[in-house]
Structure 1
């Protein structure tokens, strides 16, 4: 193929991805709005001390969902690779879903251990069962989403993205009407969205070819466990951060922590929806990497996006300092008091996590599972060490750890992504 031909191919891939992203934009915005409705409503319905427990549950369930999100990216990769030859993902996709579901079930069972349950949920053991059921449902949901986006079934994929928070909002509305908005019923409303995949089973099954074998159990389990562990470390500094704080830096003023966690949920919510964008990025990278022109364009996009994210994070921190405390009180109520510097740290961290997640999607597309794991291990280790070592109260330690961790991770993942982008890069399927 000529240089002009490869450049035209790269341009075609970019244009096609732009169109797909445009179609998804509306569904992502709708999901964000519905997610905010749910979190704000729960903050309004519960006092700050109970909301701190609710956010711990929310963080564990959504953190488990985030930990399972590489399943969506892996299946989108399998589907995209199969689509290059006109095929469909095979039994390897089912093996990946089964592995993820087993991991989710094991995590939920671990939360039922009395010392862990008491420390996280303060005796409300039912929340652990809800996490278990919601986690297994998340595995099925991400599996279907990966198949859909990998085969460019954008319409159904977009509807599934919206259906998840819509189901939660619907159940929450029914609870409010029935005046049954206590801690456990609200948790059930949150978990209900994990079962939205049941509406799309037929579309997902059509995108599987069970006659095609795909990767065997050993390769699938090894790769998925590394990807899931890396994503679990990711979740520990995103949706699961309140639980990490509770385990490593317990104590402190519960009402102040509840206010900070409320601000964190607001700042982090868009990150829970970055998964569809990551899954879109995987086939984008797969197709661009077939030519030198595509690889050159990819490197340029990644560098420009990273520097733009740093500038946006600084601007967001400034805005958070100025209006953050007022915004938290306005959204959640006058009982939620938080300092401007704390909101600045949360916004800074949230913005930097966006390029981090997209850059790790590039590593997933290249099947570099080990590098994904190393990246998020660095982030989680940085946050954990700072939570334990920084002097001061729990709120100060939580904010400093959260602001510093993504900076180290961004440096690591950018180094990995740019270090080896040649045409002959090897896939670490055995890693």
Structure 2
């Protein structure tokens, strides 16, 4: 495995472990109903952050020019503009986020502040990926996860931790950037996009649309489940929401962390490498699904108690869903590397449409959720594979 991949995966593993511990400590410290409320806020925040992750993907692709070039976009100015745009859009749609994430005003304030700060993180990370600055990127990932865990632990020690937990989840975005940015500022100086500002804005908007669609299936899926099952008590949904968060992490988080690196790698390679990477994700997913079916229920019971019991078949299906999402992330990196933004967006939009349609099926809650979890990313992967196969034929010709 290339050294950059090892460094990034190690940082992602520690940050992912921190996320697991957040889930464990919150679930252990509060009631199932309170945990469900926290899980929906977490899901909503990272739905927004996941959408804004499209900024990082496009900046990674575009930040290939090391010296200032007339007419090319300045990344610093673009970062500020993106942060302001995100804040304005979220404030303008505040009633929607209040409905989804909870009725407390501080919830929306935390969401807006986190989104603005993350835009700055996304541009910085994308520029670092473009500069192949692997160690600073890994440091940013690591510090973010560790700070979030520390903030959550402090919040849980308070008499009423609900609002403090929201702040603790958001603060690591600006704090991690404040820690890392002074160290890498000189390295980032002079890096510009490879396209003018208008083209960069257009490409970024397409990447954000696709990333937003992907975030619906990843971070936002628990919130979607909650919205699609209004008659279910929060405590009844808690085991499924916990299972979703746990089964997403081992496959999807590494794929997301590696996407910018994959864009860099695929930019200089052929479609065959992209297809091989997708196949490897499939093999890993199959193994993890079997493991989840066999050992998952006992591990959940031992770790969280009988209130969070989930059967093995459901866990295996959720792992398979996560594997499909990871495969779509990898295939999407290949499409972005080839500047196929339109196809990239189309795949994720198809996934969301199919997922929402599945939620409307006349089925009981659990099978309906499983069908939605599998059908959406499966449809997106099909779109991508057709496009990649056509691209391979085109290159061969």
CA distance in 2, matches of 1:167, 1:212: 30
Which of residues 244, 262, 266 is equivalent to 1:285?
A: 266
Query: Residue 335 of structure 1: CA displacement?
Result: 1.6
String of CA shifts for 1:23-76, please: whole Å, max 9, x gaps: 223212211111111121111122111211111110111122211112222222
Where in structure 2 are the equivalents of 1:166-245 lying within 5 Å? 166-176=146-156, 178-180=157-159, 182-195=161-174, 196-209=176-189, 215-245=195-225
CA distance in 2, matches of 1:146, 1:211: 11
CA distance in 2, matches of 1:338, 1:398: 14
Q: Relative to structure 1, is the Cα distance of residues 273 and 303 closer, same or farther in structure 2, using a 3 angstrom cutoff?
A: closer
In the alignment, is the contact (CA less than 8 A) between 1:42 and 1:186 conserved in 2?
no
1:46 matched to 2:27? The reply is no
Counterpart of 1:29 in structure 2 is: 13
In the alignment, is the contact (CA less than 8 A) between 1:227 and 1:369 conserved in 2?
yes
Structure 2, unpaired ranges of 5+: none
1:418 matched to 2:389? The reply is yes
Which of residues 330, 355, 368 is equivalent to 1:383?
A: 355
Structure 1, unpaired ranges of 5+: 1-16, 289-294, 426-431
Q: Secondary structure at the match of 1:251?
A: coil
Which of residues 292, 299, 316 is equivalent to 1:320?
A: 292
In the alignment, is the contact (CA less than 8 A) between 1:82 and 1:88 conserved in 2?
no
Counterpart of 2:343 in structure 1 is: 371
Q: CA RMSD in A?
A: 2.8
String of CA shifts for 1:100-124, please: whole Å, max 9, x gaps: 42453245325631x6524x24423
Counterpart of 2:326 in structure 1 is: 354
1:125 matched to 2:113? The reply is no
String of CA shifts for 1:376-418, please: whole Å, max 9, x gaps: 011111110000124212x331122102222111111122223
Deviates more, 1:327-336 or 1:262-271: 327-336
String of CA shifts for 1:331-368, please: whole Å, max 9, x gaps: 33332122322212111111221121011111122222
String of CA shifts for 1:190-240, please: whole Å, max 9, x gaps: 112212111122344334456968533432222111110110010001110
String of CA shifts for 1:91-144, please: whole Å, max 9, x gaps: 34235434542453245325631x6524x2442332121111111111111111
Which of residues 90, 94, 103 is equivalent to 2:76?
A: 94
CA distance in 2, matches of 1:212, 1:67: 23
In the alignment, is the contact (CA less than 8 A) between 1:230 and 1:376 conserved in 2?
yes
Counterpart of 1:4 in structure 2 is: none
In the alignment, is the contact (CA less than 8 A) between 2:39 and 2:241 conserved in 1?
yes
In the alignment, is the contact (CA less than 8 A) between 2:324 and 2:374 conserved in 1?
no
Aligned residues: 394
Q: Relative to structure 1, is the Cα distance of residues 181 and 312 closer, same or farther in structure 2, using a 3 angstrom cutoff?
A: farther
Counterpart of 1:337 in structure 2 is: 309
Q: Secondary structure at the match of 2:28?
A: helix
Deviates more, 1:273-282 or 1:353-362: 273-282
Q: Relative to structure 1, is the Cα distance of residues 218 and 246 closer, same or farther in structure 2, using a 3 angstrom cutoff?
A: same
CA distance in 2, matches of 1:309, 1:211: 33
In the alignment, is the contact (CA less than 8 A) between 2:73 and 2:200 conserved in 1?
no
Q: Relative to structure 1, is the Cα distance of residues 88 and 19 closer, same or farther in structure 2, using a 3 angstrom cutoff?
A: farther
Q: Secondary structure at the match of 2:94?
A: coil
1:59 matched to 2:43? The reply is yes
CA distance in 1, matches of 2:106, 2:379: 37
Q: Secondary structure at the match of 2:2?
A: helix
CA distance in 2, matches of 1:363, 1:88: 28
Q: Relative to structure 1, is the Cα distance of residues 414 and 97 closer, same or farther in structure 2, using a 3 angstrom cutoff?
A: farther
